[in-house]
Structure 1
């Protein structure tokens, strides 16, 4: 079973607009509201792939109940810890031929008692897990080292972990002695971590950056490059993933779908190349759908065969 952690879930609301007009009224014809937060996008895609998955994290208020109802409707197992404050909304304005403007609420503040209660339930859930994914931001009230605590618990039980976060939480995990198995930063996050300025036209410099001592002990580093694919470091070997050009419908959640594909492929005992190709494929499939955190599995092998993996 893959255990997915979402500590700052949300109700994801997408408003498609032909043109966003500032300081005026913008009317939308269709609205999408889904159980969201990066980890829940991961959860849905794993479920659609046929993987065995359980979602956990913290939820509160009527928005928290909405999320649980959505998961129940999709027959996705979940065990969330209840908190007093309301779960947040995350709004995406999709406008002007592929542009995306996001409005993200900060979300609830987690008390020390709630954090401790969640950790008790998390330890119980780990007893049935084989893989762990941790995604997204940390809510207020939890220190930047909170994910490191979860990873330590997983490592003690020899459960590999895939971490997809940024900023202080990512840096704390990398500086901890308890390393995640995989991280999925983009180039901006690599630049922020190391205080450098790289772009995708500098593959050898990216390769050197990923060999920095900060990443020592992390077996897999998947650096996503948007439409240009990804650069992947696995152990001491580097790979380049090239992906087909597609007509993007909704890019929101594609990074989460990538994590889902990677986790699913790991759980299936796939080879290194198969793992990378699966992650790239699910990320693309998400971008082809209007619904965030959703893929059309009927198109999986068509896209999969177009993903090219090479070593360098």
Structure 2
């Protein structure tokens, strides 16, 4: 089973408008509400791949109850730490060919909340083979919190795929105990190194050779329509993808993480791991719903992904 961690889940609300009028009334007929947060997108795609997944994290209030119900409706098992605070809403207004987002920050966790989730996490690890840790940390938790989860997993022999950014990711990388895999995009990679990283092979090769990334088994740098650049152990790969019709790119990184986790759980060869991850990412862009794929189209796209080993 795969454990998908979302520390700051949300109810994602999408309003679709032909025109967004400021300082006026906007009436909405098309409304979509889903259990949101990067880790829940990961869990949804893993489940759509017919893999066993357990969603966990921290939530509370009526919005927390709604999230659990939505997961249950899509046959996703969950075991969250419940707190006496309300979980958050995240609103996306789709208008005039644009997307305006209004994101609540969510609850502020106490030190006791953080410790309580660590205890739950340790218990859940006994029944899983791989962990995904996705998204931002809630307020109140120290930036090194994800590193604690990574280290606990390593102690129990459970590999962790970490998909976060900013100081949370930096703290994970600075520690001696490294995550099994990370999935930065090129902007996040540039921020980590404090210098511009370009999508050319030479620039990416040099960036991933930095000491900061030593000891990480898999580094998958997503490059949007250009595919990905990957470091696995001492080897480097360029992954190219076919041109597809993009409906909604939001959540594609989460779908990529889902593909990585599922393929790693199945112990697939390197090329197939990468092709699976790219395929699930592409499938997400072809759907209107965030963090969702039509698995019936998997095989066709999978065969169109090309993996090339880079020889230095």
Q: TM-score, normalised by structure 1?
A: 0.96
Deviations 1:185-227 (A, max 9, x none): 0011011111111232x32111101110011111111101111
Which residue is 2:248 aligned to?
A: 250
Q: CA deviation at 1:17?
A: 3.5
CA displacement, residues 13-33 of structure 1 (integer Å, 9 cap, x when unaligned) = 122344545555444431111
Match of 2:296 among 295, 298, 308: 298
Residue 90 (structure 2) pairs with residue 90 (structure 1):
yes
Give secondary structure in 2 for the equivalent of 1:13. strand
Other structure's SS at 2:245 match: coil
Q: Distance in 1 between matches of 2:17 and 2:202?
A: 40
Residue 34 of structure 1 aligns to a residue whose secondary structure is strand
Q: How far apart are the structure 2 equivalents of 1:25 and 1:281? A: 41
Structure 1 residues 23 and 284: alpha-carbon distance in aligned structure 2, compared to 1, 3 A threshold:
farther
RMSD: 1.4
1:265 to 263, 266, 270: 263
> Which residue of structure 2 lines up, in the alignment, with residue 182 of structure 1?
181
In structure 2, C-alpha distance between the alignment counterparts of 1:95 and 1:197, rounded to whole Å: 32
1:1-60 deviation per Cα after TM superposition (whole angstroms, max 9, x unaligned) = 111100010111122344545555444431111001000000011011011111110011
SS of aligned partner of 1:127: helix
Question: Paired residues, what number?
Answer: 310
The alignment partner of 1:116 has SS state of helix
What is the aligned partner in structure 2 of residue 15 from structure 1? 15
Shift of 1:84: 1.4
> What is the CA deviation profile of residues 86-144 of structure 1, one whole-angstrom value per residue up to 9, with x for unaligned ones?
111112233444x4332221111011111111111111001111101000000001001
What's the CA shift for 1:292? Answer: 1.2
CA distance, structure 2, for counterparts of residue 103 and residue 242 of structure 1? 34
Write the distance in 2 (CA, Å) between the matches of 1:42 and 1:176: 25
Q: Distance in 1 between matches of 2:173 and 2:38?
A: 20
In the aligned structure 2, how far is the partner of 1:218 from the partner of 1:24?
A: 51
Q: Distance in 2 between matches of 1:271 and 1:300?
A: 17
Aligned with 1:162: secondary structure?
A: strand
Inter-partner Cα distance in structure 2 for 1:19 and 1:241: 39
87-96 vs 143-152, which moves further = 87-96
Query: What is aligned with 1:310?
Result: 308
Partner of residue 137, structure 1: 136
Contiguous gaps of at least 5 residues in structure 1: none
1:1-312 correspondence to structure 2 within 5 Å: 1-97=1-97, 99-200=98-199, 202-312=200-310
Query: For 1:289 and 1:171, how far apart are their aligned partners in 2?
Result: 32
With over 3 angstroms needed to count, the CA separation of the structure-2 counterparts of 1:270 and 1:96, relative to structure 1, is farther
Aligned partners of 1:28, 1:207: CA distance in 2, in Å? 48
Tell me how far apart the structure 1 counterparts of residues 107 and 183 of structure 2 sit (CA, whole Å). 26
Between stretches 29-38 and 258-267, larger displacement belongs to 29-38
Alpha-carbon distance in structure 2 between the residues aligned to 1:242 and 1:62: 43
